[in-house]
Chain A
Amino acid sequence: MNINFKNILIALIEKEFKSYIRSINNLMNMIVFMIAIIILFPLTMGPSEEKLTLVSNAIVWIALIISIIPTLDKIYIGDFKNGWLEQYYFSPLLLEIIILIKCFVFWFFLIIPLSIFIPIFSILLNIPFLIIFWNIIIFAIGSLGFCLIGSICSSLTLGTKSNNLISPLLILPLAIPIFIFGNGVVEAVKSNYDPLPNLYLLITVCLILLVISPLISAYSIKIALTR
């Protein structure tokens, strides 16, 4: 038996990737939901361009966030139900590292593909190209932090009767710094200021989450397994 870090890593990523490919329905659901929100906003607000340019950026963000939240609390639930989490727990790798890999794979294969839709929706809502460019950067960084928060929440609600109600309550207050600094970048670009300070703050929040989130998630998964 050749158990080294590299082999386990590759096997883990392969397994996660396959599970996402086979449940491609999740991604399709998210995309359909996003398109529905983007279409509903101009229809309910009235199509006047002045109103839309004020809130167009917010509409794109709301569509992305609301379509991500329902999948965010299901990072571990499948593995918990069919016993994979116990296998991870007994594997020679630390649970924290496995969680980090799982979050990265979730982010890379389920969230990053959504960034293709940012330019399409932005053109539909008349957002200028410079802001589209910054939006994609913010989304790439901020969504990683969002996934890490989702990892905390989905591990805390493992084994609940119905986790649909609590998860948005858990995710939103923790994610507020990401929204604030992401919005700060866009506002700075709109009014010709330097967007970098806000971007650095956004990166700082994500780095802090990168350190804290695997520890908390691993601890709460251990609690859920020993229950």
Chain B
Amino acid sequence: MINYLANPNRFLNFIKPIEFSLGFLSFLFIFIGLYLSLFNSPEDYQQGDTVRIMYIHVPFAWFASFLYFSISIASIFFLIWKHPFADIIARSIAPLGLIFSILTILTGSLWGKPMWGAWWVWDARLTSMLILCIFYFAYIGISNAFPRKIDGSKPAAILAIVGMINLPIIKFSVDWWNTLHQPASIIRFDGPSINQEMLIPLVLMLLGFLFMSIFVILINIKTNLIFKKYQSELIKIG
């Protein structure tokens, strides 16, 4: 399957029919999720209406770290099998991940001001998220820092793999240290500790963000492929 799709032309043919449905599904899920979370979910007994920030904060945070994980997986594929398509995938994921990590920090500080009384605290979870954001900046910076753009792919791939040590630190920072950030409440050994009525909109939003990020990444991949083709045509013409 991976071998089959590794060819850019076959990949473009494969995604052509599913692209529209992905965009439609993401719109549908986010729409329903937003409606449920804003109008049809209970207020928190301590936090009141501010808890509704959670429905976008959690998906942003999850996909910021998940997209970094997929960048590193694509980079491992690229370094081992040296397939240029893996590099294009990794490069296409990076901008979206950067935006997600910045939005995580922004929504988190908007949530933190009324709850903790501060826009920012130097807490383990917050700091590790900031480091993830810096890693995204460094990845994008180093992959575009070379006179020829292709030269940046391998150093960027190495950086992505080195930065992977940050991901477990983000996930377990709330368990290892005493933090102001609340501990994990969805992925736990004893099942989610969150109320059913809050869980359903959250899951809908997560699904919507999943489809949306796949949709945006596919568009990015297409753009990068077209750009690469355009450059090689330029070289042919001379």
Do chains A and B stick together as partners?
yes
Task: Give A59 to B103 CA distance when docked, in angstroms.
Answer: 32
Task: Give A172 to B131 CA distance when docked, in angstroms.
Answer: 9
Chain B proximity mask over A161-180: 1 for CB below 8 Å, otherwise 0: 11101100110111010000
Chain B residues with CB under 8 A of A152: 162
Task: Give A174 to B162 CA distance when docked, in angstroms.
Answer: 9
Cβ of B163 to closest chain A Cβ, rounded Å: 7
Task: Give A220 to B134 CA distance when docked, in angstroms.
Answer: 21
Q: Which secondary structure dominates chain B's binding surface?
A: helix
Chain B residues with CB under 8 A of A173: 131, 134-135, 138, 163, 166
In the assembled complex, B62 has its CB within 8 A of some CB on chain A: no
Q: Which residues of A contact B (CB under 8 A)?
A: 152, 156-157, 159-163, 165-166, 169-170, 172-174, 176, 216, 219-220, 223, 227
Given A152-B162, A172-B134, the answer on whether A157 and B142 have CB atoms closer than 8 Å is yes
- Which among A163, A170, A223 is the interface contact of B154 at CB below 8 angstroms? A223
Q: Is A162 touching B145 in the complex (CB atoms < 8 A)?
A: yes
Q: Is A157 touching B131 in the complex (CB atoms < 8 A)?
A: no
Task: Give A165 to B151 CA distance when docked, in angstroms.
Answer: 18
In the assembled complex, B85 has its CB within 8 A of some CB on chain A: no
Q: Is B145 touching A220 in the complex (CB atoms < 8 A)?
A: no
In the assembled complex, B155 has its CB within 8 A of some CB on chain A: yes
Which chain B residues numbered 122 to 164 have a C-beta less than 8 Å away from chain A?
127, 131, 134-135, 137-138, 141-142, 145-147, 151, 154-155, 158-159, 162-163
Given A161-B146, A169-B137, the answer on whether A227 and B151 have CB atoms closer than 8 Å is yes
- Which among A170, A174, A216, A227 is the interface contact of B142 at CB below 8 angstroms? A170
Task: Give A223 to B82 CA distance when docked, in angstroms.
Answer: 12
Q: Is B146 touching A160 in the complex (CB atoms < 8 A)?
A: yes
By CB atoms of chain B within 10 A, which of A161, A162, A173, A220 has the most?
A173
Task: Give A165 to B155 CA distance when docked, in angstroms.
Answer: 15
Instruction: Indicate the size class of the contact surface on chain B.
Output: 10 to 19
Task: Give A161 to B146 CA distance when docked, in angstroms.
Answer: 6
Task: Give A170 to B162 CA distance when docked, in angstroms.
Answer: 10
By CB atoms of chain B within 10 A, which of A156, A159, A172 has the most?
A156
Extra contacts, 5 of them, besides A160-B142, A165-B141, A166-B142 (Cβ < 8 A), are A157-B142, A157-B145, A157-B155, A174-B162, A220-B155
Task: Give A224 to B29 CA distance when docked, in angstroms.
Answer: 46
Q: Is A159 touching B141 in the complex (CB atoms < 8 A)?
A: no
- Nearest B-chain residue to A158, judged by Cβ: B155
Chain B residues with CB under 8 A of A160: 142, 145-146
Cβ of A54 to closest chain B Cβ, rounded Å: 16
- Nearest A-chain residue to B150, judged by Cβ: A227
- Nearest A-chain residue to B131, judged by Cβ: A173
Task: Give A159 to B146 CA distance when docked, in angstroms.
Answer: 7
Chain A residues with CB under 8 A of B141: 165-166, 169
- Which among A156, A162, A169 is the interface contact of B155 at CB below 8 angstroms? A156
- Which among B147, B162, B166 is the interface contact of A216 at CB below 8 angstroms? B162
Q: Is A159 touching B158 in the complex (CB atoms < 8 A)?
A: no
Q: Is A156 touching B142 in the complex (CB atoms < 8 A)?
A: yes
Q: Is A220 touching B163 in the complex (CB atoms < 8 A)?
A: no
